[in-house]
Structure 1
Amino acid sequence: MNEKVKDIAVRIKGLRLLAGESEKTVADAIGINVDEYLKYENAEDDIPVSILYEIAEYYKVDMTEILTGTSPKLHDISFVKKGEGLKVERFDQYKFESLAYKYSNRKIEPLLVELDPENSPELVSHKGQEFNYCLEGKMQVIIGKESFIMEPGDSLYFNSTLPHKQLALDGKPAKFVTIILL
């Protein structure tokens, strides 16, 4: 595992110990089995972004604190220059860049996402709703049994509790903005 994953695992374990909770209690609360939770806490496996959201919500902390060890300070305005978003490297199939990580108590999570055409991610689901806006390339979004082809300028809004994934098409990377309602 890379150092970022190890650092995140240490912070997650630290939150659990500070809260005085057992591994099983936390795993049950976020909806996964304890063996899976232990893999995340021991840095034996990458932690999906959806699980990071669940953990942050459970401990009532901002996800930025789990990712970086520092809490966001801005309350009214957060300005992030191009290329300066917080990189969230969770899966080989997706490259995430948090575009509002400096803003405290966010109600939405805007992310710039780049899809790798060489990899096909698994279906995921998480609380809330999600908005995708295609910026570059051609991509396919699979939601449950439905499929949508998106090109630059196309948008899609959906219930993110439904299993979903995004795929780059035509052997080229694709970029999109996703906004997740927390």
Structure 2
Amino acid sequence: MNLKDLSQKTGFTKSYLSQIENMKREPPISTLSKIAFVLNVDVAFLISGETQNTEAPKITVVRKGEGRANYGPFGEKGFLYESLGYKKFDRLMDAYIITIGPEFPPKAFFHEGQEFVYVLEGAQEFIYDGQTYFFEEGDCFFFDSDKPHYSRTVGKKQGKILMVFAVQKASAPGELLSLNKIEMEK
């Protein structure tokens, strides 16, 4: 698939996709998920280049310590994303254990879909559509992710969350149904 086709199917500009391809822009995980869906590959493949099993297993297991770790989409200090769903390439959602850094990312995220967050460790300050929320261990929250959102650890203990997000699935491989452009706030 060429950049023009990928651009039409994802809604991203050819210029933006070229910048990602040439490692001049670091996209958020949600952007990589959308690109991976259109290409019918796993997000982990886009990051690591490792090939995947093309048969869709009904169940996959990721044992403790087997998650694939990657730094935040902007390389921001203290953020680490551990993919828990990388073995199931036909999944309808993505799950991550995320270590939250002490500073907000440089830009807010917003994209089609919904997110569920469960605070595993520490406390976090979460900004959603301009409103501030504080969450502690054991708290959870669910939100529409089409509004600007971002978070950071507050307090002395490093923050860690379980984050599950889903975007609308297409009716056929490579076909998108009203998926808006996944972007970062300017």
Structural mapping, 1:15-94, within 5 Å: 19=1, 21=2, 23-68=3-48, 69-72=50-53, 75-89=57-71, 90-93=73-76, 94=79
| Alignment partner, residue 8 of structure 1 | none
Shift of 1:29: 3.9
Structure 2: unaligned runs, 5 residues or longer? 168-186
Structure 1: unaligned runs, 5 residues or longer? 1-18
Cα contact 1:107–1:181 (8 A) shared by 2: yes
Structure 1 letter corresponding to 2:22: N
Shift of 1:134: 0.3
SS of residue paired to 1:91:
coil
CA displacement 1:86-123 (0-9 Å, x = unmatched): 11223333210011211231111110000111x32121
Higher helix share goes to which structure?
Answer: 1
- Partners of 2:108 and 2:19 in 1: CA distance: 20
Structure 1 letter corresponding to 2:131: E
Structural mapping, 1:1-182, within 5 Å: 19=1, 21=2, 23-68=3-48, 69-72=50-53, 75-89=57-71, 90-93=73-76, 94-117=79-102, 119-121=103-105, 122-170=107-155, 172-182=157-167
TM-score normalised over the length of structure 2: 0.77
- Partners of 2:118 and 2:21 in 1: CA distance: 33
RCO higher in 1 or 2 (8 Å CA, sep ≥ 6)? 2
- Partners of 1:30 and 1:46 in 2: CA distance: 17
Give the aligned length. 161
Percent identical across equivalent pairs? Answer: 29
Structure 2 letter corresponding to 1:58: V
SS of residue paired to 2:143:
strand
RMSD: 2.0
CA displacement 1:31-54 (0-9 Å, x = unmatched): 333333221111123222121012
